[in-house]
Amino acid sequence: MKKLHRQLLVAAVLMAGFAAAFGSYLLFAPDDRAGPGLGVRPAADAVPVRASSHRLTDPQRSELTVVEFLDFECEACGAYHPVVEKLRAEYGDRVTFVARYFPMPGHRNGELAARTAEAAARQGRFEEMYQELFATQKEWGESRDGKRQVFRDYARRLGLDMAAFDADLADPDVAARIRVDQRDGVALGVRGTPAFFVDGEPIAAPGSYEAFKALIDDRLDG
């Protein structure tokens, strides 16, 4: 637990620095293409959760919704991942946890990782790829080289249909699906990752598992 707490403190520092460095860089661009070094227009109809959003838990009677805008290459997101997983295990029958894409500029493979997860989602395997990308983040994150083949290896390891995976990875509709989340995030004020929303309200990323758990308990009991 002490190690996890230290990781979250490091994550908070990283996230603050990253947001400061790239916040103004991300905001708007003359077009709505997404990718390293490009921004997106904010969505006029932005919402924290859409029908198409990836739900990591889907309780029969959801009492609360926690949304995370994330970048698979973001070290702070990687540090928060075990916290989110622990919260999912504890509250998955009461709380809907939602993952939304928000690859940040400056991450060479962030947008590609998001498309990798979405291509896996088309074969019903979003959860597995989501876990794989975070579990292996230290192996490919922060690289200046493209990791397409690495991500293809993950898809093969998960037993995906590789012809379909390759086609989906290159499909403009998959890239557009990533931009939907980015445009919602920009419109909702997301400037760095991870960015959390609880029942539609933005919250400061809690500094520990205990703090996040207390926040959820307070909302559930309130």
pLDDT reported for residue 7:
53
The gap from C-alpha 72 to its chain's centroid, in whole angstroms, comes to: 6
Question: What is the torsion angle, in degrees rounded to the nearest 10, for the CA atoms of residue 2, residue 131, residue 23 and residue 171?
Answer: 180
- Give the residue extent of every domain in the chain: 2-221
Q: Is the dihedral of CA 169, 132, 61, 208 positive or negative?
A: negative
Counting residues of the chain whose pLDDT is more than 70, the rounded percentage is 82
pLDDT band at 38 (very low <50, low <70, confident <90, very high): very low
As a whole number, mean pLDDT of residues 68-95 equals: 97
pLDDT in tens, 118-176: 999 999 999 999 999 999 999 999 888 889 999 999 999 999 999 999 999 999 999 99
pLDDT for the residue numbered 8: 55
Judged on CB neighbours under 10 Å (0-12, 13-18, 19+), 80 is buried
What architecture is domain 2-221?
Answer: 3-Layer(aba) Sandwich (3.40)
pTM of the model: 0.84
Instruction: Encode pLDDT of 193-209 as tens digits.
Output: 999 999 999 999 999 99
pLDDT recorded at residue 106: 84
Question: What is 49-109 written as a DSSP string?
Answer: --TTSEES---TT--EEEEEEE-TT-HHHHHHHHHHHHHHHHHTTTEEEEEEE-PPTT-TT
Over range 101-129, report the average pLDDT: 96
